[in-house]
Amino acid sequence: MAGDFLIRGTLADVDPAVAELIRLEHARQMHKLIMIASESYVPQAVREAEGSVFQNIYAEGYPHVSMHGLSEDRILDYGYQMPFYRRHADRRYYKGVEYCNIVEALAQRRAAEAFCPPGMSPEQLFVNVQPLSGAVANLAIYEALLQPGDVVMTLDLLHGGHLSHGSSASVTGRRQRVVHYRVNPETELLDYEELYELAQRERPRMIIAGFTSYPWAPDFRKFREIADSVNAYLMADIAHTAGMAIAGAYPNPVGIAHVTAFTTHKTLMGPRGAVIITTDPEIAQKIDRSVFPGLQGGPHMNKVAAMATMFKIAQTPQFKALQHQIARNAVALSDGFKANGLRVVHGGTNTHMVLLDCKSAAQRGGVPLMGNIASRILDLVGIVCNRNTIPGDKDASQPSALRFGTPWVTQRGLDERDMREIADIVTAVLRATIPFATQGKRGALYSARADLDVLRQAADRVQALVEKAGCDVVLSPQTYPHTWRATNGAGDQPVEVRGEHAEDLLASVLDRPLAELSDGGVARLLGPGRQPMAEVSVRRVEGGFVLNVSGSVRARAVEWLRLLSEGYVVVDDAQLEDGAPGPVEVWA
């Protein structure tokens, strides 16, 4: 046995609970179609760098200023770097950071090469790779370039802007006076003449060109002309589209905007962090001071190492081809929705995202289908997206749209034909969903229920796409057990229904009261519309009940019980608001 206090052993040895959670999360990601526009699948090499021993090091401050502009070969020239470090040190507050300096300079250099616009050299770009998130990067720019009370001009949150662009819910909306530009109410597109007039009227000190749910690429040169007309800074936020900008699938604002910020975990497929780039050395110094010591302490050097690997990957032909396919897939998805008669918000897309107006898919008695409940129901069939506000929504708590992104499904090899299939699946599910509203303390509470068989068919179609897509886990019920889909086919194994609501749920869908059933008594399980689905024998056990359901109806019965527990299937059209009690555990 070693005579030290180093904790040895794998994660599975030291903490099997967390190891299992990681395994399950990996399985979830592979068993579903992830269409969150702000997510992507991070390559193994980047994850390895992020999980490295750079995690252990404190490195407050920055590398020596002379490392700016060095070529990659010079940065990695240890014969030069080690003596230089020992003689001249750096701008850090800690020692033992010689390799941190090298990996940070490497990340900066590769970022500069990736984003260097025509007519410029990487040496002209100043890169800060230390912000811990996109919101921190945005706040650092505010702190560096603005004074309290300065006017900032941003896209309205409900029209596609971001919280950290001056929302009243964010600190960025409290220190400055924020004025919002909006999309044209008729075209749902940006109107640059209106932007110009607003800027002349409000005289902002900074204009932000960047969006979280506006699906069209901006004209950064027009934004710069408007900013110059009022002597304002132009900040470009390409958090979502940085990978596309590197590949030429989206305009690159570096060299046009005074400062550009972006996150590294969306289309860039990197660690969860952020980067700020400017071509102005004075702005660069202000931003460096704003990030550290203004807003942060020590940087996460493991993430900086992962960024270095990420920026290397981002300059490969494979990465660039991926980004262009992401855009083509988004257009195909948008066209698929429109061909099915659904309303695509803003008229379409030329980026990686599509916004779908749920109200165009389903309404009942004047009650529209809303984004929150629609996203929950789609998640049940294996399509993961998010609710989103659109122009016309009153507040962010009740968004009426869904936002779909194509990075992840494109990474897994799905193409334009598959996007049309996804559009068809989404349409089928949403049109089979019946919305309703109940009255809460603060107004209407929107919900909905869907048809059992439509959900089953949609889940089968999603599964076919999942099996076609690239995958790095074994697809099986054993690897991803936490689903409502039946796992044992039409076998005769008993079905257990457990939990504090088990008796109430069964009482609501059996044709005989449980009190009348002797141990092993037979009743009929009622399905949608309270029509008989199967005969079941019921036996009470501690904590719940055991049901015997035989034959070909077993799988459907198990899925019915699980979906009843989830709360999103129609039990009785005439009493839509009366769902089954739950949740319960259904073991099959």
Q: What residue segments make up the domains of the chain, in order of their start?
A: 54-315, 323-468, 495-587
Stated as kind and residue range, the H or E segment containing 456 is helix 452-468
Mean pLDDT, residues 519-526: 90
Assess contact for 57 and 282: CB atoms under 8 A. Answer: no
Catalytic residue among 272, 320, 328, 530: 272
Residue 163 has pLDDT above 90, yes or no: no
Residue 387 has pLDDT above 80, yes or no: yes
User: Which CATH number is associated with domain 495-587?
Assistant: 3.30.70.1400
Catalytic residue among 23, 28, 47, 60: 60
Please give the DSSP secondary-structure letter assigned to residue 553: T
Residue 498 has pLDDT above 80, yes or no: yes
Residue 575 has pLDDT above 80, yes or no: no
* DSSP state letters, 416-458: HHHHHHHHHHHHHHHHTEEEEEEEETTEEEEEEEE-HHHHHHH
What does the pLDDT read at residue 1?
A: 55
Total length of the chain: 588
What does the pLDDT read at residue 42?
A: 97
Assess contact for 434 and 388: CB atoms under 8 A. Answer: no
Per residue in 548-563, pLDDT tens? 987 789 999 999 999 9
What does the pLDDT read at residue 388?
A: 95
Residue 58 catalytic?
yes
- List the beta bridge partners of residue 270: none
Per residue in 325-382, pLDDT tens? 999 999 999 999 999 999 999 999 999 999 999 999 988 888 999 999 999 999 999 9
Give CA torsion, residues 336, 342, 346, 348, to 10 deg: 10
Catalytic residue among 58, 93, 192, 196: 58
**Residue located via tokens 């929950």:** 376
pLDDT band of 491, cuts 50, 70, 90: low
Query: 536 is written with which tokens?
Result: 């079941």
Return the percentage of the chain with pLDDT > 70, whole number: 99
User: Which CATH number is associated with domain 323-468?
Assistant: 3.90.1150.10
Amino acid in position 484: W
Catalytic residue among 90, 188, 237, 357: 237
What does the pLDDT read at residue 488?
A: 63
Q: 3-state DSSP call for residue 461? A: helix
Q: How far apart are the C-alpha atoms of 52 and 97, rounded to whole Å?
A: 15
What is the CATH architecture assignment of 54-315? 3-Layer(aba) Sandwich (3.40)
Assess contact for 311 and 114: CB atoms under 8 A. Answer: yes
Q: How far apart are the C-alpha atoms of 516 and 519, rounded to whole Å?
A: 10
CA R_g for the chain: 27
Q: State pTM to two decimals.
A: 0.94
Stated as kind and residue range, the H or E segment containing 38 is none
Residue 574 has pLDDT above 70, yes or no: no
Residue 421 catalytic?
no
Per residue in 74-99, pLDDT tens? 999 999 999 999 999 999 999 999 99
pLDDT band of 109, cuts 50, 70, 90: very high
What does the pLDDT read at residue 551?
A: 76
pLDDT band of 160, cuts 50, 70, 90: confident
Catalytic residue among 154, 212, 263, 389: 263
Please give the DSSP secondary-structure letter assigned to residue 159: G
What does the pLDDT read at residue 97?
A: 97
Q: How far apart are the C-alpha atoms of 277 and 553, rounded to whole Å?
A: 60
Assess contact for 400 and 314: CB atoms under 8 A. Answer: no
Residue 263 catalytic?
yes
Per residue in 5-60, pLDDT tens? 889 999 999 999 999 999 999 999 999 999 999 999 999 999 999 999 999 999 99
Best-predicted range by mean pLDDT (82-96, 488-502, 574-588): 82-96
Per residue in 177-215, pLDDT tens? 999 999 999 999 999 999 999 999 999 999 999 999 999
Q: How far apart are the C-alpha atoms of 475 and 111, rounded to whole Å?
A: 36
Residue 72 catalytic?
no
Residue 237 catalytic?
yes
Average pLDDT, the chain: 94
Catalytic residue among 32, 110, 182, 266: 266
Q: Taking Cα atoms as reference points, which of 250, 246, 238, 245 lies closest to residue 275?
A: 238
Residue 266 catalytic?
yes
pLDDT band of 475, cuts 50, 70, 90: confident
Per residue in 237-287, pLDDT tens? 999 999 999 999 999 999 999 999 999 999 999 999 999 999 999 999 999
Q: 3-state DSSP call for residue 13? A: helix
375-378 contact pairs (CB < 8 A, 24+): 375/402, 376/568, 377/429, 377/430, 377/433, 377/448, 377/450, 377/455, 377/568, 378/402, 378/426, 378/429, 378/430
**Residue located via tokens 């941190």:** 100
